[in-house]
Structures are given as structure tokens and as C-alpha cells.
Structure 1
């Protein structure tokens, strides 16, 4: 279980950094073309690996009924809304809105997957969300904008895609599900992007192309595969708690790369975020034959009612 948690944290570190990298890239590319280029790089990478290892399985009609909605929500709508929102919303504010994902996923998992929400998970999530407001809070408060609405849509579609992926991986491997959903999603995004934002509008710098393909392969491809595999091992609700770390990562990367100021209050918030995640995911120690051991009790988020 510890190994799964470490891998989930690595994914969240990459995704938290993506807020800053995405904010940089939307000044170089139109949002739809940015999404299309990244997804193309991701698809080529995943298909190349799948072809070399021959790990892709066959699909049934029932699989397609889950893959197509997953591609629409998890790729087409999510990526388009995310990069469109980052045109007008800064990275830290976007990370705050995306921090609603764990609670949204837990609620959807309770409704559709019958996963339990434990008191420990709930308390840990509340502590982490409190820390999030310390990290990205502002004295003048948040004002609702169209960009925030797009980021909210990105959060909700991501949450829906996690639930669909959890159902899909009951029928096939996580890698197979990731490859097919990404490729299908790319085939939906690319024609829309080319119609809405012709290629002649693109004239970015070389560093932007390098950053685009690197983030597409690592964050959209590799991290998605790792996340989806661990999702089947720890459950949707518990895995989603780690997403609370994203604002902290966005704050840290913004400070290191862009020189964004970090206050003492934000540091306190970061500690609350980490503490909340640890509390929500920590396994209880129980006594067995008089010896304190960590027993793999039925995972509360995987236990079906």
C-alpha cells in the first residue's frame, strides 16, 4: 500500500506542476491546439509502448460503452476546459477549484460505486481543504469569472472520468483502458482544434514545443497510466485524497520557476494539506497476538455495501 501511495504522490507532484506549465503554455498556443498537440504526443507515446510490449487487449461492445464516455469526459471536455480556463485564471486559483475533485470523486464513488466515506477520510479532507485556502487564499476573496467556470468544468469532468475508469478497470487492465481512452479522446479533440484554431495561428518558441511534448508524455501519458493502475489498488475515494496536494505543489513550483512570493500563512496551509492527506490515508495499527502490526483491514473505500 505504501508503494501505491508514493506513486500517487509522484503523479500529483507532476499534475500540480502542470498548473504552472499550463499557464506558461497557454501564452504560446491557443488552448484547443495546445490540448490537441499534447494529446497527440501522449497517444504516440502510449501506442508505441503498447505496440512494443503487445499489452493491448481486445475490446467488446460493452467496453466501448464505457470507453467513449471516458474519452469525452476525461479527454475532450477536461483538456479543453482546463486550458481554456488557464487563459484567464492563474495557476493557484485553478488549483483551488481543482481541489474540489477529491470530495466530488468521493461523493460520486459513494453513489455509483458504493464506496464508503470513512470519518478519517472526511476529517483528513476537511483539514487538507482548510490548508488549501491558506495556500491560495486572498484578502480580497475570489471573484467568479468565466475562466473559473471552465476550470470547474475541468474538475467535474475529471471526477466523472475517475469513476468511469474505476468501472472500466473491473473489465480490463488499467494500461489498456488508458491507451484506448486517450487515443479516442485525441481523435475527438484534434479535428475540433484544427477547425476552431487553424495551424497558421501558431508560432511558439522552441522551448514551448519542448515543454509541450514533455508534459504531454510525462503528465498526460505516464502519470495517467500510473494513476489508473493504483486507482484499482486503493480505490477511487482514497486515491482522490492525494489531489489535495496539488495547490501546495503549484505554489512551490510557481515560487521556484516564476518567483511567485510565498508567505508564512501559505507555508502553514501547506503543512495542513500534507497533514490532512496523511490522516486520510493512514492505516490504523491494531494488536494481533499482543504485537502491534499494521493489518490490511478491508479497505473502507474498496468495501462494497
Structure 2
């Protein structure tokens, strides 16, 4: 069990670091091309794993009624919004905003899936929202900008993709849904990126390509495979608690690599946000055994 916890912590640290590496790469690649290249590398990693492990389940025609919107919203729109936002929003603030996704999922599930919205969820949501206003409102360079709106859009599309994933995994296993949605999303992002952003805009630096491909394979490919395996061993409820550590990982890595200062405002705001998310979702997630983290969303994800 200790080994599983260490591996989960490794995954969360990588996903938190992904915000920082994304903020570096966005200055070397246009947003859509960055997404397209990363998703291509991730898809190749998953495809190789599927061929070797032969664990991919079957899908039928009606499954694509959810897989296609999942690819559009959860991959194309999410990745475009995430990397566009990172052009002007620092990694720590982006990770804190995206940490609101579980609460947004709870609200969407209450509206569209008729799941109960408890007093505990409301109290946690209010606490987390206060934390967001604390971080965004008090930071001198973080007025309500277009970059912040894109990060909020990335968070919203991620939450919507969770709802689609939840309905989809009623019929097929989470890993199969993840692989198909990633491949479909990649197929949508690549042509849009090539049309909208000339290939001449990509970075000529070898280090940038190494960082891009490394983060795609390790953070979006390998970590997702590790997460799915360990999820079956410790349960979704316990694993979900680790996801709340992503903002702290982003904050620490941003400080170590970029020298981004950690202010008392961010520290207090992050505690309010993460604390609110835990209060709002811990009971609900404990009941949701079997829910897996979708791949590549702003974490990506992530997820972006």
C-alpha cells in the first residue's frame, strides 16, 4: 500500500509540475501546435501500451455519441483554452483555478445527473470560491484578464468532460474510454493547429522539444497508466485526496525552477481552495469508487 501511495504522489507531483513546464513551453510553441504535438506523443505512448498489454476494450457505435463530444470539449477546447491562458497567467494561479474542477463537477452532476448537492458540498464550494477571489483579487497582476477567463474555461471544459466520462464508463471501462477519447481529441486538434498556426512558429531549440516530448510521454502517458493501475488498488476515494496536492506541487516547482515567489496571499488562498475542495468532495468521492482521472487535461488537464 505504501508503494501505491508513493506512486500516486509521484503522479500528482508530475501533474502539478506540468503547469510550470506548460508555462515555459508556451513561450516556445503556439498554443494549438503545442497541444497537437503533446497529444500526438501521448497517443503514441498509449497506443504502444495497448498493443503490448492488449487491454483495450470494445466500443460500439452508440459509444461514439459520447466519445466525439468528449474529444471536442475535453481535448480540443480544453487544451486550446489551457495553453492560451498560460500565456499570461502564472502556473500557480492556473493550478489553483483548475483545482475547482471537482466542485464544478458536483454542481454539473446535480443539474444534469440529478445527484444530490449536500450542505457539505455547498459549504466547501463557498470556501473554495472565497479562496479563488483571495488569490485572483489580491494579486497585483491578476485582474480579471482574458488569460484568467481562458483558464476558467479550461477548468469548465475539464469538468464537463468528467460528466461525459462518467456516463461513458457506465458502458465501457475507464481506460478504454480514456484511450479512445485521447485519440479522437488528437485527431481533432492536429488539423486545427496546422491550419490556424504555421509550423514555422515552432521552437528551433532542442531543449524545448525534449521538454515537450518528455512531459507528453511521462506526465500525460506514463503517469496516467500508473494512476489507473494504482486506482484499482487503493480506491478512488483515497486516490482523489492526492489530486488536491497539485497546486502545492505547482507552487513549489514554480519557485524552484522559475523563481516565482510564493506570497502569503497565495498560501492562504490555496489552503482555502484545497480545504474547500476536500470538504465539498471527500464524502462524494468515497462513494464514487471507480471514477478515474481523464487523461491529458490541464493536469493535465490537463490533467492540460
The TM-score range, normalised by the shorter chain, is: 0.7 to 0.9
What per-residue deviation string (whole Å, max 9, x for no partner) do you get for residues 2-38 of structure 1?
9998776654433322211110001111111100000
CA distance in 1, matches of 2:86, 2:45: 25
CA distance in 2, matches of 1:245, 1:126: 20
CA distance in 1, matches of 2:285, 2:96: 32
Matched with 1:58 is 58
What per-residue deviation string (whole Å, max 9, x for no partner) do you get for residues 124-154 of structure 1?
4544555556666635474222222222221
* Larger Rg computed on CA atoms: 1
Query: Gapped runs of 5+ residues in structure 2?
Result: 290-304
Offset of residue 91 of structure 1: 1.7
Cα distance change, pair 228–135 in 1 and its aligned pair in 2 (3 A) = farther
Matched with 2:86 is 86
Matched with 1:106 is 106
Matched with 2:71 is 71
Cα distance change, pair 8–157 in 1 and its aligned pair in 2 (3 A) = farther
Q: 2:103 touches 2:281 (CA, 8 Å); kept in 1?
A: no
Cα distance change, pair 23–246 in 1 and its aligned pair in 2 (3 A) = same
Q: How many residues align?
A: 286
Offset of residue 62 of structure 1: 1.2
Matched with 1:200 is 200
CA distance in 1, matches of 2:91, 2:72: 24
Cα RMSD over matched residues? 3.4
CA distance in 2, matches of 1:153, 1:206: 31
Query: TM-score normalized by structure 1?
Result: 0.79
**Greater CA drift, 169-178 or 85-94:** 85-94
What per-residue deviation string (whole Å, max 9, x for no partner) do you get for residues 47-97 of structure 1?
000011111122211111111111111111111111111112222332243
Offset of residue 155 of structure 1: 1.0
Determine helix, strand or coil for the equivalent of 2:89: coil
